[in-house]
């Protein structure tokens, strides 16, 4: 299949790895969070703050269902997209789904090092509970699971390409 969709927790590197993989393959890169920002004309955090979790998920689902890339593309999704069966079925019909799995400790390190980000569905249970809830969903929907830990961006992109048996132009 000539499209890849990256799913995973916030902080797992979907956008950065996706951008790198797309550049290496000479494919289009689509970030669904960016699509939402364009639609609302504001930063994702502002959209998350404005909508409740259910409304945001509906916007995310509509955004994914509207995707119909012409030709080759790498799609990076929001972490909560796995809650939408229609969105996941659509992604599976147009692409190979790759779950970027990172240990929860790594996610803590990465998210802590970034500006505060509103993570949809994060409640009093925090990241551990969210990770528990989502992990099974990510696994259920993924065609490939790529376990990452200390890889550089380039190494992670190489793992994605080799596991999906895609040859890069480099």
Q: Which residues are annotated as a binding site for Mg(2+)?
A: 15
| Annotated binding-site residue numbers | 11-16, 33, 57, 79, 117, 134
SS (H, E, C) the chain: CCEEEEECCCCCCHHHHHHHHHHHHCCEEEEHHHHHHHHHCCCHHHHHHHCCHHHHHHHHHHHHHCCCCCCCEEEECCHHHHHCHHHHHHHHHHCEEEEEECCHHHHHHHHHHCCCCCCCCCCCCHHHHHHHHHHHHHHHHCCEEEECCCCCHHHHHHHHHHHCCCCCCC
| Annotated binding-site residue numbers for ATP | 11-16, 117
For residues 50 and 23, the answer to whether their CB atoms sit within 8 Å is no
Tell me the sheet residues that pair with 7. 99
| Annotated binding-site residue numbers for substrate | 33, 57, 79, 134
For residues 10 and 170, give the distance between their C-alpha atoms in angstroms, rounded to a whole number: 28
């Amino acid at each position: 299949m000539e499209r890849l969709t990256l799913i995973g927790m916030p902080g797992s590197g979907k956008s950065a790895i996706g951008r790198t993989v797309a550049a290496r393959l000479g494919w289009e890169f689509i970030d669904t969070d960016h699509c939402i920002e364009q639609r609302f004309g504001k930063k994702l955090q502002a959209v998350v703050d404005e909508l409740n979790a259910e409304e945001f998920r509906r916007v995310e689902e509509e955004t994914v269902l509207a995707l119909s890339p012409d030709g080759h593309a790498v799609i990076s999704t929001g972490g909560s997209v796995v809650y939408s069966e229609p969105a996941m079925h659509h992604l599976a019909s147009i692409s190979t789904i790759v779950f970027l799995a990172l240990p929860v400790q790594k996610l803590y390190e990465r998210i802590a090092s970034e500006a505060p980000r509103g993570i949809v569905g994060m409640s009093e249970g925090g990241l551990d509970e969210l990770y528990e809830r989502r992990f099974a969903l990510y696994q259920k929907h993924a065609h490939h699971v790529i376990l990452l830990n200390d890889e550089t961006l380039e190494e992670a992109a190489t793992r994605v390409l080799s596991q999906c048996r895609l040859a890069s132009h480099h």
